[in-house]
Chain A
Amino acid sequence: MHLSDSISASESWFENILFKHRPFWLFILTFISLMLAAQAIQIRPQASFEKLIPLQHPYIENLMQHKDDLQGLGNSLRIVLSIKDQNKDIFDADYLEHLRQLQDEIIFLAATDPAQVKSLWSPSVRWTEVTEEGFAGGSLIPNTYDASLASLQQVRENILKSGQVGILVANDFRSALIQAPLLPVELDYQALGEQLELLRDKYSNQTYQVHIIGFAKLVGDLIEGATQVGTFFIVAFIITGLLLYAYSRCIRSALIPLFCSFVAVIWQLGLLHLLGFGLDPYSMLVPFLVFAIGVSHGVQMVNAMVIEASHGASTLQAARQAFRSLYLAGMLALISDAIGFMTLFFIEIQVIKELALAASLGVAIIIISNLIMLPLIMSYAGIGKKSCLHAQRQRQIHSPTWQLLAQASHAKIAPISLALALLIGIMGLYGSSFLKIGDLDKGAPELRPHSVYNLDNAYITDKYATSADIMVVMVKSAPQACVTYPVLAGIEALQAAMQNVPSVQSSVSPVNIAKRVISGFNEGNLKWQALSSNQFILNNAMSQLPTGMMNNQCDLLPVILYLQDHKAQTLTQVTQAVEAFANQYPSDEVEFLLAAGSAGIEAATNAEIEHAQSFMLIFVYIVVSLLVWFSFRDWRAVICIILPLGLTSVLCQALMAALGIGVKVATLPVIALGVGIGVDYGIYIYARLIQYQKEGESLTQAYYHTLRSTGKAVSFTGFTLALGVFTWIFSPIKFQADMGILLTFMFLWNMLGALWLLPAFAHYLLTDKIQGSTH
């Protein structure tokens, strides 16, 4: 067999170079580690909006092309000061004073655009009234405001006249909103998030409560939550250390794999920082994975050394033997991990690409840290006596567990196993048919439903008129033609058509404003609330548009659709409705482009993910199958190793459907990671199995021996990997928790699949007779 042949053939030069110059190599590795550690401590959490979205998707291309024109719809914060007492309302001198102070502090935040901040106190927010002479109007809180009851009454009347109820003032008059657009510059979301939390603490008390939402706040919360994940790393580190000790009964053989895996994480973080990347909430998973994979390979290496040492080899000899027997198999497994991750590169979403890069880099580093550095260190440290004795003792004890599991390859058990697997697979396929694309929860799906952000979001969407799920249709015309009748009539017709789409709650466009202005110019009479085909009336009306509703070239107008939620089904319904309308609309002078707004971006992301999902799955399986085939040059190996993985993928999808986890940016990589890492188990077991079989043992016997030698290491690996990501389930960030659940499931089930189903397949494919005839 190819793998075993190459192990024995290539022992010499590489091993010699390494082990003849141990101090030199250790010095070099220490030097690099220190250099990279200096880099690694500089790495910062980051989150960038553009990295989360599929830049190649036509919707996003449209959006990016018109980004500057849509600034009014861009990044802004909404801060609400609410009153806790059910019987009080905002027409209260103390409340208004607090609101003014809060507004002033928000204006002075470095990130906000001071000229654009709007609240009841802004002079730019006005009430208007039609009089015989024309319009009368003023700011909501007049200059003459003196906190008296009369002036509070005046404020109440002004607010009612201004039409700001549901916009700047809650429907129930128990809170008011400050709208704070952010400057279009690179923002430090983490710092902004901290500043906002300080304001929240300062202004929330027994009487008042502060609610803050907006993309910037969400990102701040994400970074904040992601940083907490750092503590999980410590937990995972300690538990893994304890497990290692329980496994090897030797402090040295527990600490060294732990140390080497930790070095791998440092290298990975250092290299990421050197390459100019930060850690976003998605790629934060990677250090955990690298650590877990590192430990599992370290364990294999230590395991091999223990076996050599217990056979009486010297420390150096044991290290060399272990290195010789494992570095090729380990390298192969790690390379297939890396290539599995690389398939994520085909998804045109930057965070996924970066995650793929970070993960590939990480497993490549493990080749150095745990396949090279670890045996070098162990060649000095050696294996503890206790460990050797433990291993010897273990070897002599007959293991009933392994004996039982070895029966999986038995003629009577194998068909039952496969039938059972088939049944589970069919059930899984049925379950996975309920799998949905996209985010399924309300509010910000990145965070947990009961996070402060989502509670704030629920409060604001409940008390104010507008939904947080916004899709913007960009209506494009010839330059300078955005105010012509065909364009505006088109927008009006689009909005009418959208009224028939159940998931569109309401819509707003410059046409609504123009119609209101036309009515306003005619003394507020509603009989005039219509577009005129008269160009002069339209010019006049459109000249009153607020900034951000029309671009300078006058070739783009936004139609803002407020959606009831952001489920993939909803988004598809809306985008299909818009596209159907655009195809039917009888004018060549106007073009309806999708899509900006949070929901528009999500629609594009969903489309990209839906497109990428099956492609990526097929690709990762092809790549892994090819790798297995190259390693063993045998199609039977491909079946034995890959089919159990397939069952895991199907069950993972069914689990996602059952738990209400959609396929999204966070969960899509999980499938590739699960397959890429899961293949390791199969490779280790299959390699041993055929080796024992080649030595003339029957299949069941060979499998029993395989289990005795590597089965323990494999199961230990499965638990370490699962443990590394299990802690994520407690992350405050919903998608990290989802990733944790799914990866834990895949690591454990892949292990089970390899131990239970691989021998069942082997029973049919690697029968002793065929084995004898081929060799």
Chain B
Amino acid sequence: MSIFPSMPSARMRIWLACLLLACILTPQLQASTTSKYQYPDTYVLQTSPINRQATSSLLLDLIRVGSRLLALGQGGHILYSDDQGQSWQQAQVPTTSLLTSITFSDARTGWAVGHQGLILTTQDAGASWQIAYRHAEYLAQAAQIHLPALRTQVDQLSQAVQNAPAHQRADMEAELEQARWDLEDARFLYQPEALPPLLDIHFSSAQEGWAVGAYNTLIHTQDGGQTWQPISQRIPNPDGMHLYAVTHLKDALFIAGEGGFLAYSTDQGQHWSTLDSPYQGSWFHIQADPQQGHLYLLGLRGHAFVSQDQGHSWQSLFTSDTQTTPKVSFNALRILADGALVLWGQAGEYWYQPHNQAPWQAYQAPQGTSLMTGLALNHNTLLAVGQGGLHKIKHPQVVTPSTPSPSTQEP
């Protein structure tokens, strides 16, 4: 399903051929290329306007930090509540793009990622946010470094082809063709319109942070978010699958993504290897349970697995003796304070397991809209986010609000 892989590949070639054709056939692209260095920013890098309906607009993530609840989503909305979800304030945010994930590295320092390759940070527990990283800047710099070199290579090769003797010409033309493709790939990769949406952010320690995104994007900080570096090329992901989620368990880092993509690193992200995936459909979330030493992996069409051996083998959460198996896609798994698990799914479906070994129970949120994630609000209420914003759900069983702690606050 990936549309723009970052590494050259056969799949990409076909895409690019189509795109070039589209370039010729669609006149509007000509217009858009003339102003390409301004326009995404013009519209995206504005202060998110106060929106009266922010609590009922699309929200994608929800966490608890200390006594504060934070949710984020559409239009650059970041909402916070200090009274257990009774009332919400809209934070000051310097973008209007869709925000996808939020985490905190300490009680006051928070991080959020979103579309247009943005990483945001807060120093005041979420009331106001600043831009910490713009992938657009990286692309512009990279284009300045790489494109001239590639162009020179193409020029030199085409010179060489003309001067080459006849018997070498075929080989050299193939080489030239390759160089041209490389140039096109790079051009495409570095154009500012092709900014990848960032889809998840996770801090494995106060210093080490990881943001993943579409088209195999991985961005890393080693200094607590002072500087961020794209390190996508370290991941063995030739088809450029989207990376949907990143987490850590003990010393290992895990990334889950599109088309059953699953990778891990045991050396703080220097080297990455793929893992055998129990399913070839997309994973939307990977979640560690440090207390049990479990890893949970979930995604498309009711697929959810657990690993007790650092991701080497996986068992389905829904064993055959379970009466029904889920059909909806799962977006997140949350571990409640009492060890109960909640799987948040599409179409308002959520699955609840009161404790390990107990059978899973399926519930339907009354609104029926897709739920991205949620947490326990008080003893019989869950608070979820998704389509239609915040949803308070009366749960028939007693649930225990997760105790806040900065290191595990972001499942």
Contacts and interface: CB of A to CB of B under 8 A. Distances in A.
Contacts of B3: 521, 536-537
Contacts of A539: 22, 26
A132 B347 CA distance: 18
Contact of B29 (A486, A499, A535): A535
Interface in A73-97: none
Nearest to A525: B284
A489 interface: yes
A646 interface: no
A65 interface: no
A500 B27 CA distance: 36
Contacts of B300: 130-132, 523
A557 to B, nearest CB: 14
B331 A526 contact: yes
Interface string A512-543: 00000000011111111110111111010000
A485 B31 contact: no
A549 B53 CA distance: 25
A489 B45 CA distance: 12
A530 B282 contact: no
A497 interface: yes
Given A132-B301, A480-B27, A481-B31, A521 B1 contact: yes
Given A132-B300, A484-B28, A526-B372, A500 B52 contact: yes
B31 A484 contact: yes
Interface string B377-391: 000000000110000
B100 A485 contact: no
B28 to A, nearest CB: 5
Considering residues A165, A481, A529, which has the most beta carbons from chain B within 10 angstroms of its beta carbon? A529
A496 B96 contact: yes
A130 B258 CA distance: 13
B282 A526 contact: no
Contacts of A497: 49
A478 interface: yes
A480 B44 CA distance: 23
A587 interface: yes
B64 interface: no
A58 interface: no
Interface stretch (B147-155, B188-196, B220-228, B304-312): B188-196
A131 B32 contact: no
Contacts of A532: 115, 197
A534 B139 CA distance: 14
Contacts of A493: 43, 96
A318 interface: no
Nearest to A506: B53
Interface string A498-509: 011010000000
Contact of A526 (B1, B280, B281, B386): B386
Contacts of A525: 244, 282, 284, 329, 331
B286 to A, nearest CB: 14
Interface in A466-497: 478, 480-481, 483-486, 489-490, 493, 496-497
B115 A530 contact: yes
B197 A528 contact: yes
B193 A535 contact: yes
A437 B258 CA distance: 57
A132 B280 contact: yes
B298 to A, nearest CB: 12
Contacts of B362: none
Contacts of B43: 485-486, 489-490, 493, 586-587
A160 interface: yes
A481 B192 CA distance: 19
Interface string B328-353: 01010000000000000011000000
Contacts of B96: 493, 496
Interface in A130-166: 130-132, 134, 160-161, 165
Interface in B1-32: 1, 3-4, 19, 22, 26-29, 31-32
Contact of B51 (A161, A496, A522, A528): A496
Contacts of B44: 489, 533
Interface residues of A, number: 41
B281 A132 contact: yes
A165 B53 CA distance: 22
Nearest to B25: A539
Contacts of A521: 1, 3
B60 A486 contact: no
Contact of B53 (A490, A499, A535): A499
A485 B284 CA distance: 27
Given A132-B301, A499-B51, A533 B284 contact: no
A9 to B, nearest CB: 75
A493 B74 CA distance: 11
Contacts of A478: 31
A489 B52 CA distance: 20
A131 B328 CA distance: 10
A539 B27 CA distance: 12
B1 A499 contact: no
B331 A499 contact: no
A639 B386 CA distance: 71
Nearest to B42: A586
Contacts of B368: 160, 165
Contact of B39 (A486, A524, A536): A486
B2 to A, nearest CB: 9
A17 B96 CA distance: 85
Contact of A500 (B32, B50, B199, B301): B50
A502 B96 CA distance: 21
Nearest to B195: A533
B242 interface: yes
B116 interface: yes
A159 B39 CA distance: 40
B97 interface: yes
A563 B60 CA distance: 27
Considering residues B43, B242, B280, which has the most beta carbons from chain A within 10 angstroms of its beta carbon? B43
B4 to A, nearest CB: 8
A502 B197 CA distance: 32
B370 interface: yes
Contacts of B115: 530, 532
A481 B28 contact: yes
Nearest to A496: B75
Interface in B248-287: 258, 280-282, 284
A546 B40 CA distance: 26
A533 B192 contact: yes
Contacts of B331: 525-526
Contacts of A586: 42-43
B65 interface: no
A543 to B, nearest CB: 11
Contacts of A483: 28
Considering residues A486, A496, A533, A534, which has the most beta carbons from chain B within 10 angstroms of its beta carbon? A533
Given A130-B300, A486-B43, A526 B52 contact: no
25 contacts: A130-B300, A130-B329, A132-B280, A160-B368, A480-B28, A483-B28, A484-B28, A485-B193, A489-B44, A500-B50, A521-B1, A525-B244, A525-B284, A525-B331, A526-B372, A530-B74, A532-B197, A533-B39, A533-B193, A534-B194, A535-B26, A535-B29, A536-B3, A536-B22, A539-B26
Q: Please provide the 7 A-B residue pairs with the shortest distance between their CB atoms, ordered closest to farther.
A: A530-B98, A533-B40, A489-B43, A132-B281, A499-B53, A533-B193, A527-B100
Given A523-B281, A527-B244, A586-B43, 11 more contacts: A132-B281, A480-B28, A485-B40, A500-B50, A523-B282, A525-B282, A528-B197, A532-B115, A533-B40, A533-B192, A535-B32
Interface of B: 1, 3-4, 19, 22, 26-29, 31-32, 39-40, 42-44, 49-53, 57-58, 60, 74-75, 96-98, 100, 115-116, 192-195, 197, 199, 242, 244, 258, 280-282, 284, 300-301, 329, 331, 346-347, 368, 370, 372, 386-387
Interface of A: 130-132, 134, 160-161, 165, 478, 480-481, 483-486, 489-490, 493, 496-497, 499-500, 502, 521-530, 532-537, 539, 586-587
